[in-house]
Amino acid sequence: MYNVSASEESERMSLYKKTSAVTNIPWYYFAAIDQYERQIHDEIPEGRVTAIQPDPLFWRGVNEPSMFFPDGWGASGNDDAKAEMTNDEDILWSLGNYIKSYGTTKDDIRIALWNYYKRDLTVQTIMNTAQVFKKFQTVSLTDRDFPLPLEANYSYNNTWGDVRGFGGRRIHEGTDIFANYGVPVKSTTYGVVEMKGWNKYGGWRIGIRDIYNIYHYYAHLNGFKDGIKVGDVVKPGDVIGSVGATGYGPPGTSGKFPPHLHYGMYKDNGEHEWSFDPYPYLKKWEKLARKSQ
């Protein structure tokens, strides 16, 4: 995650909105594409404020006709008449023209993104992030929250990587937070509900994809918040369910272990997704939540 100054953020928003005005593609899609690429590259190129790095094939095309990039899409987005693959305005203008060639509806944009990235998870992540930016009308969304109320009776230790026997020999991909049945479970982040339902091992569980290409997994729930559904945009502190002990059997199986929240985090780098230890983040968010009381 990059540290971004207020002035850089303002400059980025100006670029997104300028490109939106001339392409009719809503600004939050450009912001979401940029946000996605900020997570898959090690650093922003020098002299740039966006992180989008087009493939040379997209920019220049090929000698032989190509289904997606026949002649290349690189074009000048400012007044210098130069199509520079290192210029933010040129990149956004060229990408906007490419997307617009498919149309400007949500489905059109989804198809354009798939043909650009050719990866389902990438497209879903960008579309989710766009909906978050649309709802909150900003890209400055850095708040976080602890997943349980601080006044609840809870306890947790670093259990990531521990051996698990249920469901075959495997490691524990998360942190278990023990609490009483029915304690509210909250979203820790801004994001979109990507999955909701039953799993043989996880019981009633819900998954939220945030704007940093991270999937947050909440398992063994007693139940869900009324009305919450896949596609909902959530923010830190929104209640999504409650602590339970469900799982390890058909739907409704419960009580084979003490009630607790299994909280997992998975990072996507544009090629692979993997589990990482959520414990340090939970400790940080817990501390921040106590300071804000």
pLDDT tens per residue, range 127-154: 999 999 999 999 999 999 999 999 999 9
Tokens of 28: 């939050």
Whole-number pLDDT of residue 4: 64
Read off the pLDDT of residues 170-210 as tens digits, 9 standing for 90 and up. 566 899 999 999 999 999 999 999 999 999 889 999 999 99
The alpha carbon of 105 is separated from its chain's Cα centroid by a whole number of angstroms, namely 21
Number of independent structural domains in the chain: 2
Does some domain include residue 148?
Answer: no
Does residue 127 share a domain with residue 210?
no
Domain that holds residue 19: 6-136
Residue whose structure tokens are 């059109």 = 108
Q: What is the chain's mean pLDDT, rounded?
A: 91
Mean pLDDT, residues 269-273 taken together: 93
Letter string b/e over residues 13-27, b meaning 16 or more CB atoms within 10 A of that residue's CB: bebbebbbeebebbb
Is pLDDT of 282 > 60? yes
Whole-number pLDDT of residue 3: 58
Read off the pLDDT of residues 33-87 as tens digits, 9 standing for 90 and up. 999 999 999 888 888 999 999 998 899 876 555 555 567 899 888 878 888 999 9
Does residue 86 share a domain with residue 172?
no
Q: What percent of the chain has pLDDT over 90?
A: 77
Greater confidence (76 vs 119) lies with: 119
Separation between Cα atoms, residue 74 and residue 254, nearest integer Å? 57
From 106, 136, 166, give the residue that closes a domain: 136
Does residue 30 share a domain with residue 101?
yes
Query: Nearest-CA neighbor of 241 among 195, 209, 281?
Result: 195
Does residue 207 share a domain with residue 102?
no
SS3 assignment, position 278: coil
Q: How many residues does the chain have?
A: 293
Give the contacts of 79 (CB within 8 A, at least 6 positions apart).
Answer: none
